[in-house]
Chain A
């Protein structure tokens, strides 16, 4: 072809700008992922980025944000900036653990329900019951009955999230089960387990990933809410909710104690939601239309 050179140039240019073009087409997911990456990095590098979040100097009580204390200090003279940086670890850990835990349990139960009709009737009644309970109260009930620990908080936040995952997985399984190729596999004598692993599970992955991001965001908010109410992470752990909770009594004279962790919390949840929305739009247009 005589025009090869003419044609090749724009193709190369396009390839070079491929990543840029993708970013331009998916601005929300890019912004969300960038913020999340920054948060993860600061969580890992907390010991280098911040001072000891627990050391307190009574002389520096309730100091305004300054060059020395970027986010000010709390009533014990603890550096809010250091506490907030370390808090990132707690929030992300809780968010990710809950997302993984709730999704894993929800997936197992959902596949079971979608596949075995007898289990379905009973389990779905239980799920209906769980869904009727306001999630924060359910978590509070669990936490009042047990000694406070991060693990209990994660379990308590996960339980109310499970029914939603179960319903999602179950609906996917039921849809896929009705497909002709599954009927064919059953008719040709493929074992139930094989069908599940080979044909049904792959179909649940895309919607589950999307759901998991929303569960993660909501778990981070719930943890903060629980800690704020005094029913969450043990108070000695510097989670954002605990920092805010302690700032409650002093917010009229030291609003920064609440402001900084609150804003970071909002930014984190926003970033996760943006990634979730982006994933939803790219992975599963069907859900996108339903939302």
Chain B
């Protein structure tokens, strides 16, 4: 097991090198003068020159790359062109809302989607199943911002149950945070729920036709226990896999959701960076998110051993 984890960690090195190479050379391979594009249309030659120096574009490419990678290895994700603050500092400032949003979404999606998928599989080909599948197909097509604005319109503007926009940090009390995160979590969770419900249903359907499920029934095990204790654990591996895949959707979705709900998180950092063409911030966020994704994949793979004793590394 330990050997496996070490091997997997080593395997992430080439992936991260490719990511670093990509974000670095993107700046150099793009047609035209990136310094001019980043400085904007109205920039004076001096301003363009300033941007060029800040990005280190005046030095030889390999020297730049060396400095960049050395910085990464020391935990330096780069420095913002406009605020002159390290990207790590900016990320740290904006981390809490995004983390809270991502985890609440994960929670909401799993808590709703897995029971939905289980029930759909149990009641396969009935009205309940069709409703769940219909929800899953539609949930997959509806864009995050439409769900977000609809939820705001209904629950915040019409019913006035929840705040329209904004985020309350955990330091102001968890109940305030919860109230501010409910709608964003459901909006972002929709696609995720659709995905997990669909896979849960498919995986459960397969498991429910297995011989050992018949054995469980023959033992007099109650339906609830057959579904949860005997079937769900066997159906878990594909479900966990899709939760991992869905995390990629989540990262992209966080950026949009934070914009809809005006949440000052990493998504807002990204949007501000887009508006100011602050490339180092986007560069740093890509490295950060890619790293998170690689680690999540590793954790998912390790979690398989917990669900299926036949999997050994």
Contacts and interface: CB of A to CB of B under 8 A. Distances in A.
Interface of A: 125-126, 128-130, 132-138, 140-147, 217, 221, 224-225, 228-231, 244, 248, 251-252, 255, 258-259, 262-263, 265-267, 269-270, 273-274, 277, 291
Given A258-B149, A273-B140, A140 B294 contact: no
Contacts of A255: 149, 153
A147 to B, nearest CB: 6
A146 B145 contact: no
B252 A225 contact: yes
Contacts of A244: 145
B285 A137 contact: yes
A267 to B, nearest CB: 8
Given A129-B290, A141-B23, A270-B138, 9 more contacts: A132-B293, A133-B19, A134-B251, A141-B286, A147-B37, A229-B255, A262-B145, A263-B146, A265-B146
Nearest to A142: B26
Given A134-B289, A136-B252, A146-B30, A266 B146 contact: yes
B104 to A, nearest CB: 19
Interface string B270-295: 11011101010011011001100110
A251 B154 CA distance: 13
6 contacts: A134-B248, A137-B255, A140-B274, A225-B144, A228-B259, A269-B142
B interface secondary structure, majority: helix
B141 interface: yes
A262 B146 CA distance: 5
B116 interface: no
Contact of A273 (B16, B141, B282): B141
Contact of A141 (B37, B282, B294): B282
B53 to A, nearest CB: 18
B282 A144 contact: yes
Nearest to B258: A229
Given A265-B146, A266-B146, A273-B140, A225 B15 contact: no
A146 B255 contact: no
B287 to A, nearest CB: 9
B141 A137 contact: no
A266 B23 CA distance: 32
B143 A266 contact: yes
Contacts of B22: 129-130, 133
B248 A137 contact: no
A230 B270 contact: no
Interface in B148-175: 149-150, 152-153, 157, 164
Interface residues of B, number: 55
A144 to B, nearest CB: 5
B14 interface: yes
B80 to A, nearest CB: 13
A141 B145 contact: no
B18 A270 contact: no
Contacts of A135: 248, 252
Nearest to A262: B146
A291 B293 CA distance: 22
Nearest to B248: A134
Given A224-B143, A259-B149, A145 B37 contact: yes
Contacts of B16: 129, 132
Contacts of B279: 141, 144-145
A229 B140 contact: no
A140 B282 contact: yes
A142 B22 CA distance: 11
Contacts of B95: none
B221 interface: no
B19 A145 contact: no
Contacts of B141: 217, 266-267, 269-270, 273
A247 to B, nearest CB: 9
Contacts of A130: 18, 22
Nearest to A271: B141
Contact of B38 (A145, A269, A277, A291): A145
A81 B17 CA distance: 48
Residue among B143, B153, B285 with max Cβ neighbours from chain A (10 Å): B143
Contacts of A252: 157, 164
A90 B23 CA distance: 28
Contact of B274 (A147, A217, A229): A229
A130 B23 CA distance: 10
Query: What 6 A-B pairs come out closest when comparing CB atoms?
Result: A129-B18, A262-B146, A270-B141, A136-B252, A269-B141, A132-B290
Contacts of A231: 271, 274
B216 interface: no
Contacts of B248: 134-135
A161 to B, nearest CB: 13
Contacts of A136: 251-252, 255-256
Contacts of B145: 224-225, 228, 244, 258, 262
Contact of B31 (A138, A146, A221, A230): A146
B32 interface: yes
B289 A147 contact: no
B19 A137 contact: no
Nearest to A252: B157
Interface string B117-131: 000000000000000
